[in-house]
Structure 1
Amino acid sequence: MIVVATADFEVYHGVVTELRDRGAAFTTIEPGDEWPEETDVAVIAAGEAVEIPDGVDLVQADPERPRRAVEAAIAALRGESGRTIVGIDPGERPGVAVVHGEMVVAAFQVPAADAAEVVHREVEDAADPVVRIGDGARLVGSRLVDDLSDVPVELVDETGTTPYLGSGARGMGDVLAAVNIARLEGEEITSRDVEPTAGELQRIKDRSREVSDTNRAIDAELARDVAEGTYTIEEALAEHRGDAESEGSEESDGGDDGDSAD
C-alpha cells in the first residue's frame, strides 16, 4: 500500500489529489506516527526528514510535480523499473503517450507546435528516456525530430498502430496509436530530411483557406515555410495578409507623379 506521510500541506494536497484521480489505494499518516504494517511505498516531501521502515520504497515529492511522485509510487508498488518511453503519432494534433514499464502514465493530444514542449516536460526527470515517433505525417514528424535533438529518438513503422475504434471511442485513435508506437522498437535517428511534395503543399494551402477568415489561401512559398516549420498556418496567413495589404497600399499610392500644369 502507498502511505503519504508529510507535514508539507502543498505536497500532501497535490499527492492525495493525484492518487484519488488515479483510483489508487492509499492512506495518510502524520510524520512520526506508527506506519501501517502493509506499507509498501512511502511518499514524503523532498528534503523532509521522516524515518521510513526497512524494506519500504521511498518517494520524495516535489510540491510542483505531484503527478511525478504518484507515478513513481505506483511504479514502485508494482515492482516496475522500466525506462520512460514516449510514443508520438504525428499529425496536425499529434497523439502523445508516456509509458513507464508496462503502464501508460500520461496521454495527450495537442497542436503539433506544442508537442515537443510536452515531451520535454514529461522526460525532464527521466533517467533513460526514449521518444518513438511514427513514420507517417512526414513533415510534422521531421520537425519533431529536429525539436527533440536533445532526447534519443527512434523512427517507428506505424503500420497497423491505429486500432479499430468502437462505439464511443471516436477521437481516441491518435492517442491509442501513440501507445502502440511507444511499444514498438524503431530506428534511432538524429534528423529526418523531408522534401515536401506538391500534394503536401497543396494540402497546406487548402488548410489555410479553411481557417482563413477571408477564404484566401496562402501562396506556394508560404506553404513551403509552413511545411518546413518556419511558420504555423496562422502565422503564414498573417504574413500573407500583410503582404496583400502592403501591395494594395502601393497600388493606391501610385499614379502620375509628374508636375501639374499651372
Structure 2
Amino acid sequence: MNGGGMLSRIGVYATRAKDYYEIISELRRLNLDFVSLDPDSPLPKEIKVVLVAKEDALKMQGLNGVKVVEVKDKGISLLSARIRLALQGRDKFGELIVGIDPGETYGLAVVADSALIDYRVFREVDDLLNYVKDVVEAKLAVRTLLRIGDGSPKHRDKVLSTFSIGLEGVEVEVVDEALASLTSIPSLDPPIPKDAASALHIALKEGHRVKGGLHV
C-alpha cells in the first residue's frame, strides 16, 4: 500500500516526543510521506491535512484550507482512514469492509470504497477483536461489513465465537477462501505480509451472510 495522492500533503505537529514518534511510526508503517511542522513557520502550501497530538490541537486551529485531525490515544489505529476522509472532504466512507484471514496468526485488511486503507497481522484473537471494535465503533462508513475466511474452520469458529461476545449487530459474511484466492488484487508497493494479503483477497470476495450478524 502506498500513499498515492497523499504524498507530501500530510503535516505532523506534536510537542511531546512520545506523541510525535507514535504518529510518524504509523505513517511510516503505512508508507505515507509527511512533513514535520513548526507552528512558528509558514505552513507549506502543499499541506492539506495536519495531524496533531491532542495536547497541541489549539496551536493548529484556524488554518485556511487545511483539515486538522486530532490524534487521540486510541485514534492512532484509525489514522489512515481519518487521513483519507480528511483529504476527500468527507465525514464517512460509503462502504468499509474488514477482511480477516483466520489461522495461527490473523491477517486483517481494511478496504474503504474499494481502496486498501490498512492492514495488520495479529497473534491473539483478542487483539484482533479490540482493533475491529475500534473500527466499528468509530462509525467510519455508512455500511461496515466483516468478511471472514473459512480456510481454517477451527480458527474461523474461534473468531466468530469471540466476536459474538464482543460485537453487537455487525453484518458478517463467511468467505470461501479457495474462491477468494482467485480474486485479483492490485500490485502493492511495498508488498504487505502474506496473511494480510490473504485477508485482502477475502475482503474483496462476496461471501455467505451469517444470519442475524453478530449479537451479544
Give the TM-score category using the shorter length. 0.5 to 0.7
Structure with the larger RCO, 1 or 2 (CA within 8 Å, 6+ apart): 2
Deviation at 1:121, TM superposition (A): 4.7
- Structure 1 position 138 matched with structure 2 position 172: no
Q: Which has the higher strand share?
A: 2
Partner in structure 2 of residue 27 of structure 1: 35
Partner in structure 1 of residue 188 of structure 2: none
Unaligned runs of 5+ in 1: 165-171, 193-262
Q: For 2:12, what is the secondary structure of its paired residue?
A: strand
Q: For 1:19, what is the secondary structure of its paired residue?
A: helix
- Structure 1 position 59 matched with structure 2 position 69: yes
Deviation at 1:95, TM superposition (A): 2.5
Q: For 1:132, what is the secondary structure of its paired residue?
A: strand
* Paired residues for 1:72-151 under 5 Å: 72-74=82-84, 76-77=86-87, 82=93, 83-101=95-113, 102-111=115-124, 115-128=128-141, 129-149=144-164, 150=167, 151=170
- Return the TM-score normalized by structure 2: 0.67
Deviation at 1:56, TM superposition (A): 1.9
Partner in structure 2 of residue 227 of structure 1: none
- Return the TM-score normalized by structure 1: 0.57
Higher mean alpha-carbon deviation, 136-145 vs 107-116, is at: 107-116
- Relative distance call for 1:12 and 1:52 in structure 2 (3 A) is farther
Letter in 1 for 2:201: N
Distance 2:117 2:52 in 1: 24
Number of corresponding residues: 185
Identical positions, percent: 28
Deviation at 1:87, TM superposition (A): 0.8
Letter in 2 for 1:95: G
Partner in structure 2 of residue 155 of structure 1: 174
* Bigger radius of gyration among the two: 1
Deviations 1:76-111 (A, max 9, x none): 446785343211123343332233340241221525
Unaligned runs of 5+ in 2: 1-8, 185-192
What RMSD, in angstroms, separates the aligned Cα atoms of the two structures?
3.3
